[in-house]
Amino acid sequence: MFRSDTWNYLFGSKEKHLSDTGAFSIENLLVERKAIKHLYLRIEQPSGRVRVSAPKRMSDADIARFLQSKRQWIARKRSQLQQKSQLVNPDISATEVLLWGQHYPLVLQPYSGRAKVLFDQEKIVVLGGASSRPEQLQTLLDNWLRQQLQQRLQERVPYWEAVSGTRANEVRIKRMKTRWGTCNIRAARIWVNAELVKLPPACLDYIILHELVHLLERLHNRRFHALVEQFMPDWRSTDTLLNRYLLPR
C-alpha cells in the first residue's frame, strides 16, 4: 500500500503514520481525516504533494483502493506540474525581470535626481538616488510593474467589454495565491492578479474576458464556455499557456 514514511494522516492535532502492506507506495502523500461525507483528492502546487481529505470513519483499505484507482491520474498531474514554470516575486538584486513574457536585464544606476524606472524595450533601468535604500528601490520597481499592468488594463478592458457586450463597474489589481482573476458579479467588480504583468499579453486578455463573461453567466458551465469561445475562439491555447505557470506562494 503506502510506505510509512510517506503516508501520513492528521486526526485533530496528532499525526499518525500508516504501515506498509507492500502493494504500492505514493511519495509525498498526506491523508486528513475530517467530518465530511466524501473523499477528496488534490495535488498541491508547487510541491506535488498528494493531499487526501477522507471521512473520519472511512477505512484505510477504502482509501487505498481509491488512491489505487487514481494512480495514473496522480502520475499524469505530477508530470504536468514538473513542466510548469514557477513565477517568483521581482527582486531588486536580481539580474533580470520578467515582463509580458519576456526576460529583460535589470540595471541599477546611480542618479542625482528623484529615483525612477526607465524601460527602453531592451532593459529595465532603476535610477536610484545616493540616499535610496534597497527596500525603497524594490518598492519603486514593484510600483512600476503594477503601473504597466494598469496601463494595459485601461487599454484592453474597454476592448473586451465591447466584444462581449458587458460592462465592469471597476477593475482592480491584487496579488492572489491561487487565482488569476475573480469577479464579484453583484458589484460587477473584477480583480486581476498582479502576476499577469509577467506573462504574455494574451494571458491578460483571456483573464479579462473570462471574468467579464461571468457577468453573463455565473457558473463554469457549458453556456459559459460557449460564450468565451464565441468571443475568443482560440481561448484554449491561451488557457494551456496560462496553466504552464505557477503562482508565487
**28 near 48, Cβ under 8 Å?**
yes
Q: Tell whether 141 and 226 lie within a shared domain.
A: yes
Residue 28: inside a domain: yes
The amino acid that residue 227 corresponds to is L
Residue 125: inside a domain: yes
pLDDT at 132 over 90: no
Closest by CA position to 57, among listed 36, 41, 40? 36
Q: Which domain holds residue 78?
A: 7-82
Residue 90: inside a domain: no
Q: Tell whether 102 and 78 lie within a shared domain.
A: no
pLDDT of residue 82: 64
pLDDT of residue 230: 98
Residue 27: inside a domain: yes
Q: Tell whether 126 and 14 lie within a shared domain.
A: no
Residue 239: inside a domain: yes
**End of a domain among 48, 82, 116?**
82
**Residue 248, C-alpha cell as written in the block:** 508565487
Q: Tell whether 134 and 240 lie within a shared domain.
A: yes
What are the backbone angles phi and psi of residue 40, rounded to the nearest 5°? Answer: -125, 140
**End of a domain among 82, 105, 124?**
82
Find the mean pLDDT for residues 219-248. Answer: 94
Tens digits of residue pLDDT in 117-131:
999 988 999 998 767
pLDDT of residue 71: 87
Q: Tell whether 131 and 242 lie within a shared domain.
A: yes
Q: Tell whether 102 and 203 lie within a shared domain.
A: yes
Residue 88: inside a domain: no
pLDDT at 2 over 80: no
Residue 203: inside a domain: yes
Q: Tell whether 157 and 181 lie within a shared domain.
A: yes
The CATH number for 193's domain is 3.30.2010.10
Could you tell me the pLDDT band of residue 179, with boundaries at 50, 70 and 90? very high
Could you tell me the pLDDT band of residue 18, with boundaries at 50, 70 and 90? very low
Burial class of residue 75 in the structure, from the number of CB atoms within 10 Å of its CB (0-12 exposed, 13-18 middle, 19+ buried): exposed
pLDDT of residue 156: 98
Could you tell me the pLDDT band of residue 160, with boundaries at 50, 70 and 90? very high
Q: Tell whether 159 and 232 lie within a shared domain.
A: yes
pLDDT of residue 17: 40
pLDDT at 5 over 50: no
pLDDT at 46 over 80: no
Higher pLDDT, 138 or 73: 138
Q: Tell whether 162 and 193 lie within a shared domain.
A: yes
- Domains in the chain, number: 2
Q: Tell whether 126 and 186 lie within a shared domain.
A: yes
CA 87 to chain CA centroid, nearest Å: 9
Q: Tell whether 152 and 73 lie within a shared domain.
A: no
